[in-house]
Structure 1
Amino acid sequence: MKLTAVHILNLTGVLTESRRIIKANYTHFVTLSLLFLPLSFPLITCPIPQLSNHLSTTDKKTIIYQIIYILIAYTFTLCAIATITYTTHHGFLGKPVSFFASLKSLTFTFFPILSTAVVASTVIFLNLLSFLMLVGSVLMLVQNIGLVIDYNSVYIMLFIGVTLIMIMIYFHVNWSLALVVVVVESKWGFGALMRSSYLMQGMRSASLLLLLYFGTFSALFMWVLRGSLHELSIRAFVFFTILGSSFMIWFLLHSTAANTVLYNYCKALHGESAIEIADQGSDHEYANLSPGDEKVSHAVTVVTT
């Protein structure tokens, strides 16, 4: 079994390996990443409206069109994640990748991915709603015993906002591999979510760092570009919209590929993959290889730091 160069199991190692895979099949990945375009375009051009003002000043037909566009963008985004994950996983294992094979994989991955995404979104929404109901109940109880509550207090809003963000980050970190599990292992729904939580044991910091890395840069990029687009001429607006959308597609592509690489590293650390692990500062030297891994012609040596 042929070994490649050593990979460092941290944020730099994950990003380096994902870039290597993308570079080796650059045209293939760029073509698949165009499926992110319906999502990236409004992220750059559309301001974030106040929901109440938006609903009161927009006619029903426009709202229906916007809902249809959101569904289309959501569908294309799931297709992009599925095909890029499929291609990245095959590239990681040293298997040949085919553009049409990646598209064909949607026939057996799209609906499981959609179901898993809906289940995860529903669970997160219910948890957020439960927290808001709990906070509301506590505030009403405090008010009923005679204390005055300032509902517009910055501290209350800050507490609620930070807690909501922490809840979403918690679920993201634990379930970040769920869609990869759907594509690679054909599990879906709660099975994929539980599998992701298991694989993330001991690697949650890596998932959090990936979230902060891509989330921070993409958020700053959108904030800067959105703030200046409305001041530009038509030609400049078109140019910077295309440029901004291209950068957003780049972020989404690399984020998806990095997540797939992280999945393979997590499997290796759990002794489930044909990846040799030199774990510095540990009593054991190599992970166990699962049955049938002798068919894999590619392996990666991973050094943890």
Structure 2
Amino acid sequence: MATPPPLPPPPTVNLWVVLTESKRIINAHSRHFLALSLLFLLPISFPITVYPSVSLLLINQSSSSHTTLSLLRQPPNADDIDPKTILLLLIAYIVFVTVFNLLSIGSITYSIFQGFYGRPVKLIPAVKSSFTSFLPLLATLVSFNSIVFAILLILALAAFSLTRVIELIVPSLDASTYFQALSAVVILIFVAIVMKLYVNWILAWAIVVVESSWGLTPLKRSRGLVKGMERVSLSMIVVFSIAQSSMVWISTVIAASDIGNGGKMWTNAFFVVQIVITSALLTVLMLYNLAGTTVMYMYCKAVHGELAWEIAEEFAREYVSLPFDDCKVPHVVSVSYNG
């Protein structure tokens, strides 16, 4: 009796494997994720695309208005744009984007998690999950930002103190020049530390939604799961950061060129089409970023041996596969880990 050919080795977990699995789940529930993108992601991508043009236009009008008034020595006009208006616009922009970002994390992570196991993916439970996980996600975000701010504060105080000490030891040294050089070094160190933290904490948002934890707990949990998968985490951060930053950069460059025309490009059809295309591409990138993070969370659990029992439970359940559900069946994870 001929022996059956050996099975191919399981794939090594990398960015391509994660994105391929994300694409499989999104394609299997395309209308569902389209609805979630329109509800939560498009309201983020559109302001991100438009905000550079609006803010630069307001700043330009404000500066030119004040310059004209100072030259003519006329009293302030009610039409002048107060700097407080620009600050309030910035605050409103940050709050709006943060709220919808947390809502999108809750709904899309929940949906990807359900789709990964082949469970029914429905809109109402996904929306409910976005509101249920909002406060835990907000608490985790505050914890994350508090740690980052504390690191920045410590580095800034260290740079300032070191500059004062050197100024006392060597009075003839130009303190301002030395402080600028030291500040550049501190910034590089700060960026490296934050990047390392984000590599370790990339799964925190998925953990908040799936495991119902919050605060520092998902950060510690993410650090444990990412061990051995740092390259995948770093590659995901770099790829999506570059891609999304490119969209924002394009909008900023076009907005800067629009200032010379006095904001008249808003009446240009090409400019409007560019806004629409950039917003759509940014929406797709954010969708795949959230999906990829959730899939990576599942693969990290598989690598650490935490997924075997959960998959066994899924296959133990009764699941009716409809004729059009070929892509929605439970998915078995088999990965190779090169530690």
Same fold (TM over 0.5): yes
Aligned residues of 2:103 and 2:130 also touching (Cα < 8 A)? yes
Tell me if 1:108 matches 2:142: no
Q: Tell me the distance in 1 between the aligned counterparts of 2:90 and 2:32.
A: 31
Picking from 161, 181, 184, the partner of 1:158 is 184
Q: 1:43-122 residue pairs with structure 2 within 5 A?
A: 43-47=48-52, 58-122=82-146
Q: TM-score, normalising length from structure 2?
A: 0.76
Match of 1:215 in 2: 241
1:24 aligns with 2:48: no
Alpha-carbon displacement from aligned partner over 1:149-188 (angstroms, at most 9, x marks no partner): 4535674443233222112111111111111101111111
Please give the TM-score of this superposition, normalised by the length of structure 1.
Answer: 0.84
Q: Secondary structure at the match of 1:303?
A: coil
How far off its partner does 1:40 sit? 1.9
CA positional deviation for 1:91: 1.1
* Correspondences of 1:1-305 after superposition (within 5 Å): 7-34=11-38, 35-47=40-52, 58-146=82-170, 148-149=173-174, 151-152=176-177, 155-229=181-255, 230-231=257-258, 232=265, 234-274=268-308, 290=309, 293-297=311-315, 298=330, 299-304=332-337
Aligned residue pairs total 283
CA contact (8 A) 2:200 2:230 kept: yes
The separation in 1 between residues aligned to 2:32 and 2:154, in whole angstroms, is: 43
Deviation for aligned residue 1:119: 1.0
Contact 1:128-1:167 within 8 A present in 2 as well: no
- Residue of structure 1 equivalent to 2:321: none
Question: Partners in 1 of 2:174 and 2:42 — Cα distance?
Answer: 46
Contact 1:10–1:304 (CA<8 Å) still a contact in 2?
no
Q: In 2, Cα distance between the equivalents of 1:30 and 1:174?
A: 30
Alpha-carbon distance in 2 for matches of 1:249, 1:58: 33
For 1:21 and 1:226, the matched residues in 2 are separated by 33
Which residue of 2 is the match for residue 287 of structure 1? none
Taking the aligned partners of 2:34 and 2:10, their CA distance within structure 1 comes to: 27
**The residue matched to 2:148 in structure 1 has which SS?**
helix
- C-alpha distance after superposition, 1:36-73 (max 9, x if no partner): 233322332333989xx899974324433432332122
Percent identity between the two aligned chains? 32
1:139, 1:149 within 8 Å by CA — same for their partners in 2?
A: no
Counterpart in 1 of 2:69? none
Question: Which 5+ residue runs of structure 2 have no aligned equivalent?
Answer: 1-8, 64-80, 259-264, 316-329
Q: Aligned-pair distance for 1:202?
A: 0.9
1:200 alignment partner AA: V
CA contact (8 A) 2:303 2:335 kept: no
Distance 2:209 2:138 in 1: 11
Which structure's residues are more often helix, by fraction?
2
SS at match of 1:46: helix
Contact residue 19 and residue 292 of structure 2 kept, 8 A: yes
Structure 1, 196-205 or 101-110: larger mean CA deviation: 101-110
Which SS does the other structure have where 2:176 is aligned?
Answer: coil
